Amino acid sequence: LQTGKQWSNEHVARERFQECMTKEQPRRDAQGNMMVSNKGKELLLDERLARINLKRKGVAPDGNCLYRALAHGSQMDWATLKANIFHVMGENPKYRKQFEAEVAMEFESFD
């Protein structure tokens, strides 16, 4: 990264991505699409988020990461949010059926 200049988050992310891409030659899949490493994908995501003044936030991978991520943008803690979601799903057969089809298990057995 260049010093002595003010760079926006977008410029920083773009420069980091370019550094990453020059260190490893991009591979292409059978259709000719560029295959990007996970680090490259993260940098692309950072760039897109920077354009709308957002950034990634790490969440503990503890099995409740979805609820922790959703709670980050709300006024509830993750456990309360999870309990509310399951309450609504339990009360609404449509949501319950969709959930059971998606996770291939009975609603009552899910914690």
Residue range 37-91, pLDDT digits in tens: 777 788 888 888 899 988 888 888 888 888 888 898 788 899 999 899 888 888 8
Q: Please provide the average confidence, as pLDDT, over all residues in the chain.
A: 76
- pLDDT at residue 101 greater than cutoff 50: yes
Element housing 105 (H / E): none
pLDDT over 70, % of the chain: 68
**Average pLDDT of the residues in 97-101:** 82
Max distance between CA atoms of the chain, in angstroms, equals 60
The reply to whether the predicted model has a pTM over 0.85 is no
How far apart are alpha carbons 97 and 46 in whole angstroms? 36
